[in-house]
Structure 1
């Protein structure tokens, strides 16, 4: 006897893909987390039954809203003391004011931490073997230290110098005292092992500014707050609808992660 059951109607590719992402894991920054584990999350555990799967949300055509918890804000290199020192120092370099958030709110210390954990922090694309010769200022980074070693050394020195001079760790100092300590590093009034203190200060200052304005995909510029202060549109796919307009067009900024597509 012929089977009287009818096959379910064919679903469009986009709809089925959305369901796959929804029920097999969570898309975070363009990476699917969960896989098989995600498929087990819905299991009730009682009588071996599973909960009914909720219907897929309609596609509004707008970028997905950021999760309430930012999983990009996780330490990869710093220890806790180094991270807190980096967070406090970055906030003094780029403080919160009436124009917008400061470095702490923008997650700049996480950006720096992630950079130091990467190949960039290890000087992965640079020749770092001796002999070492005195370099010219125009030659860029020429230290025998890897970048992560320089930053870790400087952050540890911030706390040591603050404790020796003011009996408090750098993050615990009053803002005006933090400024004085940073000023001492900038003026080479602090003795670091094998490197001028001003070199650390200059490099950390540059990293702070980069963290304020880099794409949020890299850990800083949280919620694109740095871009919003500058009315910077971020990574738009096209300007064809606005390029001929005479007036300034203010756009909602987009991150690289808004354009990532899986499948």
Structure 2
């Protein structure tokens, strides 16, 4: 897979550099919460076969690489303020630059919102009853907050902290101010009730990575822009025509929803 490269002489955005340093393991893996059954119908735009598109428009029955895919962009869990804060925070973690779109353009905030509205956001398959004990660092997330509660709490805290520190909401801050606020959460300089601020930050960071690289079926990675930046082919049905080739074969990526439509 091809890594994103900065042009000679161009400074690299620090948040982008740190993101790419740790994002390699997210490529090609399962980066969503196991909600495909519930979101296929909700997020994939339904099209009818046998219809001829108007002149100058793309046939909606062709694979996603030839059409601007219109996935569900309705909020399912966040209120408007939480969504705008999530969108701005994700964009600072994965900003748009000369090598490709950022989290906002890729629809990452919609991905996070939809995940929080699903059984994944409710920790539907996990034991969440007391007693709760302080965990070791190697045990991962062991708190009583459900995922959706943790994210909502953190987003509200981002907004409140920004207003206290700069007298502006997080989306209205300058980029360097947003970085400072996010850095304060990452370093636990902010006090959250019942949870370390860094726990929220790290979890939101992971969700942003997932939203950039998840199948577009889930609401992020719009038009498979995250995959294209890494020359990742997505969900191809077969590599039989290319697997024996010595050279790197660059393919137009396919989404899971493409196979649903083609099937």
TM over 0.5: yes
- What is the CA distance between 1:71 and its match in structure 2? 4.2
Write out per-residue CA displacement over residues 11-35 of structure 1, whole angstroms, 9 at most, x where no aligned residue: xxxxxxxxxxxxxxxx98557589x
Say yes or no: does 1:57 pair with 2:30.
Answer: no
Please say which structure displays the higher CA radius of gyration.
1
- Greater RCO (Cα-Cα under 8 Å, separation 6 or more): 2
User: Following the alignment from structure 1 to structure 2, what is the Cα–Cα distance between the partners of residues 161 and 30?
Assistant: 37
Tell me, what secondary structure is at the counterpart of 1:260? helix
Structure 1 position 126, deviation (Å): 0.4
Q: Distance in 1 between matches of 2:197 and 2:60?
A: 52
Contact persistence 1:29–1:257 (CA under 8 A)? no
User: Which residue in 2 is equivalent to 1:185?
Assistant: 185
Q: List aligned pairs for 1:94-243, cutoff 5 A.
A: 94-243=94-243
Contact 1:92 1:175 (8 Å CA) reproduced: yes
Q: CA deviation at 1:262?
A: 8.5
Partner residue in 1 for 2:84: 84
Q: TM-score, normalised by structure 2?
A: 0.77
Quickly say closer, same or farther: Cα 1:211–1:243, change in 2 above 3 A: same
2: CA distance, partners of 1:102 / 1:31:
23
- Gap change, CA 1:28 and 1:157, over 3 Å in 2: closer
Query: Do 2:92 and 2:178's aligned partners in 1 also have CA atoms closer than 8 Å?
Result: yes
Given the superposition, is the C-alpha separation of residues 28 and 81 from structure 1 closer, same or farther in structure 2, using an over 3 Å criterion? closer
Structure 1 stretches of 5 or more lacking a match? 1-26, 35-54
User: What secondary structure is seen at the aligned counterpart in 2 of 1:152?
Assistant: helix
Q: CA RMSD in A?
A: 2.4
Partner of 1:72: 72
**Moved runs in structure 1, 4+ residues, more than 2 A?**
27-34, 55-62, 64-68
**Which residue of structure 1 aligns with residue 4 of structure 2?**
none
The answer to which of 112-121 and 55-64 deviates more is 55-64
* CA distance in 2 between partners of 1:127 and 1:108 (Å): 28
Gaps of 5+ in 2: 1-40, 54-58
The alpha-carbon deviation at position 56 of structure 1 amounts to: 3.8
TM-score scaled by length of structure 1: 0.77
Q: Distance in 1 between matches of 2:261 and 2:96?
A: 34
> 1:30, 1:260 within 8 Å by CA — same for their partners in 2?
no
